[in-house]
Amino acid sequence: MLHREGRATILLTLVFLFLLNGLIGYFFPALIWLQNGFILLSIVFLIIILQFFRNPSITPTLGDNLVVSPADGKVVVIEEVMETEYFNEKRIQVSVFMSPFNVHVNRNPVAGIVRYFKYHPGKYLVAWHPKSSTENERTTTVIENPNKVQILFRQIAGALAKRIVWYVSEGQPVKQAGEMGFIKFGSRVDIFLPLNAKINVNLNEVVKGGRTVIAEV
Q: What angle do CA 82, 170, 165 make, to 5 degrees?
A: 85
Q: Domain ranges for the chain, please list them.
A: 4-52, 66-216
The amino acid at 191: I
pLDDT of residue 87: 96
- CATH superfamily for 66-216 is Glucose Permease (Domain IIA) (2.70.70.10)
Residues 9-28: tens digit of each pLDDT: 889 989 999 999 989 888 88
Distance from C-alpha of 57 to C-alpha of 137, rounded to nearest angstrom: 28
H-state helical runs in 125-215: 132-135
pLDDT of residue 107: 96
pLDDT of residue 191: 97
Catalytic pick among 95, 132, 133, 187? 187
Yes or no: say if 180 and 106 are a contact pair by the CB < 8 Å rule. Answer: yes
Is-catalytic flag, 187?
yes
Yes or no: say if 46 and 13 are a contact pair by the CB < 8 Å rule. Answer: yes
Dihedrals phi, psi of 99, to nearest 5 degrees: -80, 165
Whole-prediction pTM: 0.83
Residues 123-134: tens digit of each pLDDT: 656 555 555 566
pLDDT along the chain (217 residues), means of 10: 79 90 87 89 87 85 96 95 95 92 91 96 62 74 96 84 83 96 83 97 96 96
How many CB atoms are located within 10 Å of the residue 29 CB? 9
